[in-house]
Amino acid sequence: MTSAIAKKKHAKYFQRILQLVPSRLAMFDRSRLTFAFFAISGLDILNCLDEMSHDEQLQAIEWIYRLQVSDSGYRSGFEPSTTIPKEAPNYQCGHLAMTYTGLATLLILGDDLSRVDRKSLIKGISACQNPDGSFTATRVGCESDMRFLYCACCVSAILDDWSGINKQKAIDYILKSISYDGAMGQGPGLESHGGSTFCAVASLFLMGELHNVLSKEQLNRLRHWCLMRQDGGFQGRPGKPADTCYSFWIGATLQLLGVSHLSDPECNRKFVLTTQNTLIGGFAKFEISQADTDPLHTYLGLSGLSLLGEADLQAMNAALNISQRAYNRLQDIHKRWRSKSEHS
Ligand SMILES: [Zn+2]
């Protein structure tokens, strides 16, 4: 097993995803923007964003803005792909995960978000919150759970505007989703899971409420649950095998809870590196001899390695799941927005 990250191969892998998605992934057209986020944010974390030419980056920015559905009230947001033509406006509808990954990708590409219709997107978020505080992805009937609550928090944090969320209801939903073992499920009464626990903890962190609404004991039980998920790499639930993506989901949660130093980074790193394909790039969920690579595990594998402080990867902002460099750019944008609103 190699102990190095095959950086160049992974950069090529992401470039291929941007050019041509393999036919076995064609069903993911409905989340094409998320794939673009994995590839572009992945190149950013690899410090290889300049492998996209300036023109390619501008084209990507234009494509993402074409996905913005604005001034459509409850349907406002970003769509997954341009498959639905603009000539059929009644079928266009934002999706919270696409709105989050669209805005994040614009930031990573160096866009200043000046063409984002912030007011309209906030209306779109607000329309997706249910009376119990959870969020649906769209307003046109679909599942609701912790994932979309997290996406709503990310969009609010990026837009520096929380008026689209009833925070108290969102917090109540998170608190009701704490399971008997101290971690969070997708909703009340559901089994604790590494992904939903990240979404819940990161949402509270983004709201600035992590240490206000959880007691010391609740925080310690959460820390304990997350630390106990390490089995070489990290597993998503007790009794499950370690899986590459949880190096990010659990790794980021541990960082937000301030205890990543209590895990074993070397064991985790060793596991994640067994899941990389060193010939053609990409990471799989399990050891590479047992599973195929895919864009999600490739992105989250690299993000998990970045959280371990890997020297030649960009540092991550754990709560928003983007590079710290992109996050710093966001803070500059917020400063400009705030001084503009003070002077208007
Ligand atoms: Zn996974």
Residue 196 alpha carbon to ligand 1 centre in Å: 13
- pLDDT of residue 1 exceeding 60, the answer is no
DSSP secondary structure letters along 305-341: HHHTT-TTSPPEETTTTEEHHHHHHHHHHHHHHHHHH
Q: Which residue has the tokens 């590079």?
A: 323
- 169-193 tens-digit pLDDT: 999 999 999 999 999 999 999 999 9
- pLDDT band for position 141 (50/70/90)? low
CA–centroid distance, 245 to ligand 1, in Å, is 4
Query: pLDDT value at position 265?
Result: 97
- Domain 7-19+27-334 class in CATH: mainly alpha
**Which residues are placed with Cβ below 5 angstroms of ligand 1, an ion?**
243, 245, 285
How much distance in Å is there from the Cα of 81 to the middle of ligand 1?
A: 24
Cβ atoms 28, 35 nearer than 8 A: yes
pLDDT of 2 strictly over 60: no
Ligand 1 centroid, distance to 242 Cα (angstroms): 9
104, two tokens? 């994040």
pLDDT averaged over every residue in the chain: 94
Average of per-residue pLDDT across 78-106: 86
What is the signed CA dihedral for 164, 162, 249, 104, rounded to 10 degrees? 90
Q: What is the pLDDT of residue 140?
A: 61
